[in-house]
Amino acid sequence: MTRSPEIRIFDDLECLSWAIATRFEELARLKTIEKKTLSAALSGGSTPKLLYEIMGSSAFSRRVRWPNVHLFQVDERCVPPDHADSNYRMIRHALLESAGLPEGNFHRMGAERPDREQAAKDYAQDMASVLEPAAGAFPRLDVVFLGMGPDGHTASLFPGSAALDEQTAWVVPNFVAKLNAFRLTLTLPVLNAAAHVIFMVTGEDKAATLRAVLEGPQGHFPAQRIEPARGRVSWFLDLAAAQSLSAGLQG
């Protein structure tokens, strides 16, 4: 039985992003105390950009022992790494160029490769080499940052897309009909093996879907399929996105 999610509502994206950065810093410090590394998976899209800029800023980056951190990607568009739509490009500009993360500690998805199936397998192999799951187990990420689209998609798991039914592979190419394009994405079993999933959702265009996802019948939206068996889910929301939630959830 999964734990009820933590729901935190902030005035705006800046407050929300600083709160998540501070949560990341706390998780990294705990791992350092345990003499372990922190593994985190980063989503793309527009909402996390400010968070990554904060994490990469000189004010903040000194607060994290980056050699103890490994960063993975949640998903990627099938475009070259310097393409305007590339999640890697956004993450590089916002965080990697300034944070001080050792080069080998960022694990890029080779989504531009024509052999997408093999690119997905190679990425799973890369995850295995760092996360070292037990034989037959899914890799356990310490924290996963997810967004949500107005259609309730998360990662590149879009409503009605084939990857939603994947139960064994860790990473797959997924054809997204509404975009007429492929994406590489982590699968539900991997996302649900995580210790901590942090959703960041802002903007009134997502308010109705957010209410349906958090308060409506289960199983309708991909974002509702994020239910880590041995982990917790936190929703970091701005006022605009949270406006339709019932009073009880608005805290």
Q: Choose between 69 and 74: whose C-beta lies nearer to ligand 6PG.
A: 74
Q: Which is nearer to ligand 6PG, 31 or 48 (CB)?
A: 48
55-75 exposure pattern, b = at least 16 Cβ within 10 A, e = fewer? bbeeebbeebebebbbbbbbb
- If the CB atoms of residues 31 and 73 are measured against ligand 6PG, the closer one turns out to be 73
> What letter would DSSP give residue 248?
H
Q: Return the HEC string of 199-247.
A: EEECCHHHHHHHHHHHHCCCCCCHHHHCCCCCCEEEEEEEHHHHCCCCH
Q: How far is the CB of 42 from ligand 6PG (least distance, A)?
A: 9
The nearest distance, CB 80 to ligand 6PG, in angstroms, is 15
Which one, 31 or 221, has the nearer CB to ligand 6PG? Answer: 221
The distance of closest approach from Cβ of residue 75 to ligand 6PG in the complex, given in angstroms and rounded to an integer, is: 5
Residue nearest to ligand 6PG (CB): 147
Name every residue whose Cβ is closer than 8 Å to that of residue 30 and which is 6 or more positions away in sequence: none
What does the binding site for ligand 6PG look like in residue numbers (CB under 6 A)?
43-47, 74-75, 87, 147-149, 153-156
Closest approach, Cβ 201 to ligand 6PG, in A, equals 8
